[in-house]
Structures are given as structure tokens and as C-alpha cells.
Structure 1
């Protein structure tokens, strides 16, 4: 998933990606970006709009498998930002 070349992710892909993560508890933008950056192997990712179409497809397939395995909450918690005081 490391390639950043190619066509940009479609609006539809990004909508499904962000809505799905929000639905599972990643309500803040920075939390969703952290999850996607981790799954894409792109620690410097600042927006899901930076994904290629291929990366978005791969991440969506991965998230579907994680959800089917019943491990979505584990993934969400793994990337939850530390609470600031």
C-alpha cells in the first residue's frame, strides 16, 4: 500500500471510508487520518484526500475484513489519539 502514484481516491471511496470509521467510533478527523495513515503505511499522511484510488480500495477491503472478523473496535482503539489535558 505504499504507492502514492496513480489517480486520486474518488469522493465515493472517501465518503465510505470516513463514514465507516466514524460509525465505528473514530469521530474526530485526526483519529480517522491516523487509522488510514497506519493502514496505508504513510505516517506523514495529513488527509484521506492524499490517498490514491488503489490505496483507498485496499484500505476499504482491509476494513471490511476487520469488520467481518469482529475486530473493528480493536483497530479503532489502536489508533485512538492520547487524551490531552
Structure 2
């Protein structure tokens, strides 16, 4: 379903998928506002991540909601950027 949004999931490992995002913090906050907990991917990265872009880790085994709805919300979060003073 994420592929329909143009998102290529990186390296699924069992119950987790790694979703590329424009801004890890913005994606985590946006999904949390919808009751979906994900983990920023940068702490799991072997190479340092410079800037806000990166991945979030989604544990798919914990998703109990409509998968299509969750995929839509993840796609929105993947494109989100944090609001800063520069956005005024």
C-alpha cells in the first residue's frame, strides 16, 4: 500500500519496516498525533545522519487499525517537515 504513495520501504526485518522520511522528528510527531507510535531511525544507523531526513521504524505487528488508513497516514508523515521560524 505504501508503494501506491511512491514510498519504497527499506529493508524490512521481520515485524519492522523502515520508511524513508523527509524529517524524522516531524514524521514521529505527526504519527503520534494519530496514535501511531514509530521510532526514529537515526539511532539505528551505522553512518551518522546529517540533517533531519532519514527513516522511521514501524513495527507492523503492533498495528491494529485499518492498514490502508495507516499507510495513508505514514505517507503523509513521510512528506512532513517540521515547522520552524523559517516557515513564517
**TM more than 0.5:** no
TM-score normalised over the length of structure 1: 0.31
More helix by share: 1
More strand by share: 2
